[in-house]
Chain A
Amino acid sequence: MMSEGMFSNYFLPGIWITIQVTFFSAALALVVAFVIGTLRTSRLWIVRFLSGIYFELFRGTSSLVLMFWLVFAVPLMFRLQFVPMFAGVLALGLTYGAYGSEVVRGALAAVPVAQREAGVALGFTKFQRLRRIEVPQAWPEMVPPFNNLLIELLKGTALVSTIMVADMTYAANLVRIGSNESAPVYTLLLALYFVFAFVLTRGMRVLEKHAKSRVGQAPPGGGGLWSRLSLRSSAGEGSGALTAGGTTR
């Protein structure tokens, strides 16, 4: 069996790197999803067209190829060198951001038109409408598909081990080479990913419940970003517009 030193020397640092990669790429993906997703609902065809190209481009390629391209091709092409960790986060964030943009687009499309018109009638700018009316209403619709995407992203982080980022998969490979004991190493690794995914799913489910429970409540005074986001949200019963986002991973 694996000695305990192997776990604390290799796996523990690896777990920490996996958490970091997951966190940063999820944050990047969320930003990309909102930017591209809202741009894709724009009235200007050129904006819709360009953001659509972004979506198709990143949905169509493999994040592994993108990672290798960033790490090995970009330095040769543009004399620009990425730290592997940064390249990994960038590749995952841009790819899963593209999937997420479909979720955002679908959820925004499911907000009743009259809500937007009401915003226009109040003289809100496009940004104010998004921030105060459309996103808060679409948010509960976005949380469940985002949850799925987060799990996919977590599994995707295993790819960074191939570009020399010392995440837990990389650590497992090192231990396997060092100890020549593959069965316990990879079984532990699979178990670790499963536990991570399980914890994430449960955490997101709490968020989901929170998002739904705020439906129709009067806005409390003040409140942080979270409460502002979930204010006055009207949750539909799993809108059909979202199934597209769910299937086009």
Chain B
Amino acid sequence: MNWDWNVVGDFMPRFWDGVLLTLQALLFGSLIAFSLGLVWAIAQRSRHAVIRWPVNALTEFIRNTPLLVQLFFLFYVVPEWGPSMSALTTGIIGLGLHYSTYTAEVYRAGIGGVPPGQWEAATALSLPRTRTWTAVILPQAIRRVVPALGNYVIAMLKDSPMIAIIGALEMFGEAESFSNETFTFEAYTIVGIAFIAIAYPASLLIRVLERRLAITS
């Protein structure tokens, strides 16, 4: 094995570009996943079957099909019907939409974990439905689920290389195009290490959060 540090030096500027794009995708993808997941979770508790059924079917379908194929779908099929989007935008929407179905499960468990007495108290105070959700249920539910949501940010990080396949050059995409131009292996190795370097501290952080936010009864 002959590891060449010059190659590493050449790759570094593009590596940072890639890292920036990865973080961007992660940030906006998480925002979509967190907010849309909450929408799914609340819709799944709706009293109306017309709302519950389609949402259940949609989330079940998205969760059971590969993200890569969904990205292909968004990138090649959706522009036939509507506006075409950049690879990065498609990637962000794809990641966000895919993971929203997982965060929905997390929220669902979190909302289910709020003691029934809290609902009853809200009813006793005759709080309107929206106030019950925003002032009583969600503040308690979300606190419990923060660590679990964090886990999905890590999962999203590990899936982010897929957006390179449709042409958004995040850190893996940069490594791929660099390696193709130079016939070297260092870039792939560095990106592999970078994933661990981000994911491992992040998972430690989540473990700390889990302990801090644990609700002891």
Q: Is B21 at the interface (CB under 8 A from chain A)?
A: no
Q: Which residues of chain B come closer than 8 Å to A190, judged between CB atoms?
A: 61, 65, 69-70, 73
A126 and B44 alpha carbons, distance in the complex (Å) = 47
Nearest 3 CB-CB pairs, A to B?
A73-B185, A158-B66, A60-B199
Q: Which residues of chain B come closer than 8 Å to A183, judged between CB atoms?
A: 77, 80
Residue of A nearest to B183 (CB): A76
Q: Of A65, A74, A193, A197, which contacts B161 at CB under 8 A? A: A65
**Cβ–Cβ contact A68 & B188, under 8 A:** yes
Q: Which residues of chain B come closer than 8 Å to A61, judged between CB atoms?
A: 158, 192, 195-196, 199
Starting from the known contacts A72-B179, A169-B72, A193-B66, 19 additional A-B residue pairs (CB-CB under 8 Å) come to A60-B196, A62-B158, A64-B161, A65-B188, A68-B188, A69-B189, A78-B1, A157-B66, A158-B68, A159-B68, A169-B66, A169-B69, A172-B72, A176-B72, A182-B80, A187-B77, A193-B64, A197-B64, A249-B155
**Cβ–Cβ contact A56 & B188, under 8 A:** no
Q: Indicate the size class of the contact surface on chain B.
A: 35 or more
Q: Indicate the size class of the contact surface on chain A.
A: 35 or more
A154 and B67 alpha carbons, distance in the complex (Å) = 11
Q: Which residues of chain B come closer than 8 Å to A155, judged between CB atoms?
A: 64-67
Residue of A nearest to B68 (CB): A158
11 A-B pairs with CB atoms under 8 Å apart are A60-B200, A62-B158, A62-B160, A63-B158, A64-B161, A155-B66, A159-B66, A190-B73, A201-B64, A247-B148, A249-B155
A190 and B1 alpha carbons, distance in the complex (Å) = 42
A151 to chain B, nearest CB (A): 6
Q: Which residues of chain A come closer than 8 Å to B158, judged between CB atoms?
A: 60-63
**Interface residues as binary, A169-200 with B (CB distance below 8 Å gives 1, 0 otherwise):** 10011001000001100110110011001100
Q: Is A51 at the interface (CB under 8 A from chain B)?
A: no
Q: Is A101 at the interface (CB under 8 A from chain B)?
A: no
Residues of A within 8 A of B (CB): 56-57, 59-66, 68-69, 72-74, 76-78, 151, 154-159, 161-162, 169, 172-173, 176, 182-183, 186-187, 189-190, 193-194, 197-198, 201, 247-249
B115 to chain A, nearest CB (A): 18
B28 to chain A, nearest CB (A): 19
Our count of residue pairs bridging A and B at CB distance below 8 angstroms stands at 122
Residue of A nearest to B80 (CB): A183
Residues of B within 8 A of A (CB): 1, 61, 64-70, 72-73, 76-77, 80, 148, 151, 155, 157-162, 165, 172, 175-176, 179, 183-185, 188-189, 191-192, 195-196, 199-200, 203
Q: Which residues of chain B come closer than 8 Å to A151, judged between CB atoms?
A: 64
A140 to chain B, nearest CB (A): 22
Q: Which residues of chain A come closer than 8 Å to B65, judged between CB atoms?
A: 155, 190, 193-194, 197
**Cβ–Cβ contact A69 & B80, under 8 A:** no
**Cβ–Cβ contact B69 & A57, under 8 A:** no
Q: A186-B77, A198-B64 are in contact. Are A62 and B161 (CB under 8 A)?
A: yes
A183 and B73 alpha carbons, distance in the complex (Å) = 7
**Cβ–Cβ contact A194 & B196, under 8 A:** no
A196 to chain B, nearest CB (A): 9
A213 and B84 alpha carbons, distance in the complex (Å) = 53
Residue of B nearest to A69 (CB): B188
Residue of A nearest to B197 (CB): A60
